Structure 1
Amino acid sequence: MTQARHGDTPQADRRRFFSQLLDGARSRTPQRAPWRRVPEVGAGDGDVLWSGWAGNGEVFVVGDEGMVLRYTGAPDTAGQQWERMRVPTNLPLHGLWGPSPDCLIAVGWMGTVLHFDGTEWHQQRGGIVDDEGRFAPCSENTPLFAIDGNAAGEAWAVGDDGMILHYDGSEWHREASPTRINLRAVACAPNGTVYAAGGEGTVLQRNREGRWLALDCPLSSGFQAMVLLGDDELLLGGGRYFVDQGGFRGELVRYRHGEFQALTFETPMPRLRALKAYKEGVLIVGDQGHLYYFKELRLDRLESNSHHDLMDIITLPTGEALAVGDFGTIMTAAPDFTAALAPPPAAAQPSPWTAMASPTANQLWGIHEAGEGTCYACGEAGTVLRLDADGWHALPAPSELAVHCLWDSGKGLFAAGQLGRIYRFDGSHWQVHFDLHLDLTILSLWGTGPDSIYAVGDEGLILHFDGLGWKRMPSGTQSALYSLHGWDDRHLLAVGDFGLVLRYNGKEWGEFNVGTENFLYGVWGPTLEDIYTVGLSGTLAHFNGQRWQLQPTRLRDDLLGVAGSPAAGAFAVGTRGRILRLEEGQWLTEPSGSDVGLRAICATQDGGVYAVGDRGTILRRDPQGHDA
């Protein structure tokens, strides 16, 4: 603990240290700021800290013996600022990455992969033991040493024997590696390229097609770390053992324009362990407490006041950083640690969506555009709305029952919902068109014309109207079907419980495996080779004409609807006002300006987009709505 001055309490002095540490605006120049240990770290002299992560006012640090330390700024009952978390392993943890503090991944010895969901750590991979309780000699137990990910929520981990693992947002898969040399570093470039590096000058590059290639590096450095200086420019650090010098000598190598260049400096360096972007340059840590600041080919040694090996660098939201290492070391040059964890407040992001006046406060379940361009919405207590030139207006209610879906056949508007009833609107009155006489809810309608309309709902219900009457079709399931979409009478999809997807070929319905057990609530696609389905806990999958692939969204919100049009593009909506927009193959979050649940979306022929949901909410995104 920092020594208290006369008249000050240790608690006040500690608060002063933390408050001063995080104020990045008053930090001194990188070359002059001395580094010092962060007080009250819950690690001892026998602990090695290997890596960490910081964001949203929190810090996580991982190390030997399955150690995970967490700093939230809120002291516990004993007044401690750092919490040692419970984890399902005592194996060393070498790397940590994640998009948010409730979605972190740690990797380590014996192939250990741990996931943190914001509440608990769960072991996902590695640590396999045989019948005698010893670690099994299998590839899954290959030690992992580094992990990095991209903005889409994908991650790559690397380790011994050229091991490369890819996390697609839901599962881990091993990728073919062109080397058996031990890998110690991995980095993801914004353009989709991924790099890995390791012993004997090994540098690998993963192209956008997912294939790993070995770059021709003429140097034999043992790379331990790297940092991206640009999409195709790297700075690599590590070292080699030299017998005549009786130890390791640190080395820096730059990769630019397809060529490797060894950087030489007058002052010899020990083995380098980590490199991170820092204050318009690069921060470098290494053995024996060595700290350097690199910028424009100039290398300055920083005052570390430590002789312990430093293993990694954790960048903080303000641009400050922590260095972690041997003997439970956590160090920083920031004058105020707590302030450096809290990013400056950001201005609210403008939303291209506007709330429309709604004639109802009832929950809205569906929205549909008729062939001639008129939009309709439906919901609880028989609510049916029509969009006219002067806004939304309520139509007469078909009944007091909830209406979940609508479809315009070209010869009348159909509405369906509770108790298996289907109504038809002739422009002035509703009439019962079909009554199933069962307590089953119809959840979705879709059709090709007035003589061919399909309906799906509870307990595997599928109905077809052939122009003469409604008939029930065998579905082969008792699971609920929430959404229906088609292209013609021989190509339809219905999605439902536990990842169920049914496909209709004009004769029968059969299962179409997506690869998830999450409930699926919406399905849409412009072509048979470009289909999306959305569901529980941010589930989003894409079919490219050959196979389904789950796409990472990093969302905890349920996605309840998806739709698109050539003029508007594609959108998905969900709970807590969540809206996603598809742009160049990536689903991007778009501010909705609302926090209510959105249950359905319609992208119109003229480019307008409407989303409806709880409390009668109707949002509009005009064709000229700016991009978020």
Structure 2
Amino acid sequence: MPLGYAFRKVRGPSIEDCHFLADRWDGKGWVEDEAESWVVQVSAGRMYALKSQVGWLTGLWCSPSGGVYVSQGGGARGGVHVSLGKDPTVPQWEFHPLPLLAMGVWGVDDHFVLTWGPRVDKREDGMFRWDGTAWHPIPCPGEVICVHGLSSTLVYAVGRKGLIARWDGSQWHTVPSYTRAPLTGIHVASQDEMYVCGGNGVMEGSIYGWSEVVESPGMVVDVTKYHDDILVAGEGSGLLRLKGNRLEHLEPSLPVTSMDSRERLVVATPEELADSLDGKVFRRKPLSEFVDLTRDIPTMW
């Protein structure tokens, strides 16, 4: 049976300069013990395999200095893989084991990085903060799915049961969200402009509170602001744009699962990576390039 392949998450300023997570499995259906997670870097348009393993690599974040942080939430161990190396031909990784199944990772810089997930030593959700030297446990506001912010004193977390919480530099404050649906994406543009998305649609907020803006036509998984547009990853609905109190189709051919907007708008779908300067014309990098990269590398299961 042919192997299965898929892109999952992407981070970076363009599809010619980015990192992404991808999966390779036996083709019969994704099962953790018979599937590989890959970390791949694209530099000057060329793909380099940085890391692969059996076991679920769940999250990806790239720091402003070029550090790469990858959370691991499956298999026999949980924690964060960290690479501060700049040369994609010589990957340099350290694994930082933590007593939780890390389901995501995000940071401000290399001195403020958060990871979260179920604790393995306690029956509770956990969160750890990296200060550049060590990981320290901090209170967790609930079952977190996504984190975003602007500084170490302005960070928001969203998650299950409508969770929205703000980190003020020392503790989390849960705020009303008007929904019990899972919230899957958060983008903080400023203290006066923030967006959250989830199974129920999109909400707009600020440090003063939140309100529902629009219901979605289906599941939405990520949200970002690019130039003056609020863009939403609609998976089956494609790339959506928020216009007033409605969502309009911007690019239906892109079933987006992950986005970055630091320079170009960069998106990942299971079948391709794409980027754009205007949200209209997209360059595309097909999954076949990842297939070619790994074709002669034996499977690990």
Work out whether 1:592 is the aligned partner of 2:247.
no
Alignment of 1:279-428 (within 5 A): 362-369=5-12, 374-380=17-23, 381-390=36-45, 393-409=47-63, 410=65, 412-419=67-74, 420-425=78-83, 426=85, 427=87, 428=90
Change in Cα spacing, 1:573 to 1:624, as seen in structure 2 (3 Å) is closer
SS at 2:204's partner residue?
Answer: strand
Partner of residue 265 from structure 2, selected from 600, 609, 618: 609
Paired residue type of 2:82: R
SS at 1:534 equivalent: strand
Distance 1:613 1:591, change over 3 A: closer
Shift of 1:590: 1.7
Q: Is the 8 A contact 2:141 2:165 kept in 1?
A: no
User: Match of 1:131?
Assistant: none
Say if 1:521 and 1:534, in contact at 8 Å, map to a contact too.
Answer: yes
Aligned match of 1:18: none
How far the C-alpha of 1:386 sits from its partner, in A, is 2.5
Matches of 2:274 and 2:257 in 1, distance apart?
11
**1:535 lines up with 2:161 in the alignment:** no
Q: What runs of 5+ residues in structure 2 fail to find an aligned partner? A: 24-35, 119-123, 283-301
Instruction: Give TM-score scaled by structure 1 length.
Output: 0.37
CA distance in 1, matches of 2:194, 2:153: 16
Partner of 2:33: none
Distance 1:364 1:456, change over 3 A: farther
- Which piece of structure 1 moves more, 482-491 or 401-410? 401-410
- Name the structure 1 match of 2:94: 432
What SS does the aligned partner of 2:54 have?
coil
Deviation at 1:573, TM superposition (A): 0.5
Rounded Cα–Cα distance in structure 1 between residues aligned with 2:107 and 2:45:
29
Partner of 1:441: 102
Mark the CA change 1:609 to 1:548 in structure 2 (over 3 Å): closer, same or farther.
same
SS of 1:457 mapped into structure 2: strand
Asked if 2 retains the 8 angstrom alpha-carbon contact of 1:609 and 1:621, the reply is: yes
Alignment of 1:61-140 (within 5 A): none
**Residues 431/382 of structure 1: CA separation in 2 closer, same or farther (3 Å cut):** same
| Bigger Rg, which one | 1
Write the distance in 2 (CA, Å) between the matches of 1:482 and 1:362: 24
Instruction: Give the alignment partner of residue 178 of structure 2, picking from 505, 515, 518.
Output: 515
Q: C-alpha offsets along residues 274-307 of structure 1, whole Å, 9 cap, x if unaligned?
A: xxxxxxxxxxxxxxxxxxxxxxxxxxxxxxxxxx
User: How far is 1:592 from its partner?
Assistant: 2.6
The answer on whether the counterparts of 2:145 and 2:183 sit within 8 Å (CA) in structure 1 is yes
Contact 2:250-2:280 within 8 A present in 1 as well: no
Cα distance, 1:569–1:403 mapped onto 2, change above 3 Å: farther
Q: Deviations over 1:408-459 (max 9, x none)?
A: 2315212113242211222322423311144x2322x222222221123345
Distance, in Å, in 1 between the alignment partners of 2:267 and 2:173 is: 31
| Separation of aligned partners in 2, 1:472 and 1:423 | 17
Given residue 395 of structure 1, which amino acid in structure 2 is its aligned partner? A
State how far apart, in whole Å, the 2-side matches of 1:483 and 1:514 are: 15
Q: Is the 8 A contact 1:415 1:423 kept in 2?
A: yes
Letter aligned with residue 21 of structure 2: C
Higher RCO, 1 or 2 (CA under 8 Å, sep at least 6)?
A: 2
**2:218 is the alignment partner of 1:562:** no
Distance of aligned partners of 1:577 and 1:432 in 2 relative to their CA distance in 1, 3 Å threshold: farther
Structure 1: gaps spanning 5 or more residues? 1-359
Q: 1:482 to 1:398 in 2, by over 3 A?
A: same
**Alignment correspondent of 2:289:** none
The TM-score, its normalising length taken from structure 2, stands at: 0.74
RMSD: 2.8
Q: 1:365 to 1:513 in 2, by over 3 A?
A: farther
Question: Do the aligned residues in 2 keep the contact of 1:379 with 1:404 (CA within 8 Å)?
Answer: no
User: What is the deviation of 1:511?
Assistant: 0.9
Q: Following the alignment from structure 1 to structure 2, what is the Cα–Cα distance between the partners of residues 361 and 620? A: 24
Q: Indicate yes or no: 2:130 matched with 1:465.
A: yes
Per the alignment, do residues 441 and 574 of structure 1 end up closer, same or farther by CA in structure 2, a change over 3 Å counting?
A: farther
Residue in structure 1 matched with residue 209 of structure 2 by the alignment = 547
Matched to 2:54, the amino acid is: E
Sort the Cα spacing of 1:626 and 1:394 in 2 relative to 1 into closer, same or farther, 3 A. Answer: closer
Matched positions, count: 254
CA distance in 2, matches of 1:621, 1:585: 25
Instruction: Determine what percentage of the aligned residue pairs are the same residue.
Output: 16
Partner-residue secondary structure (3-state), 1:593: coil
Give the distance between the partners of 1:624 and 1:370, measured in 2 at CA.
Answer: 14
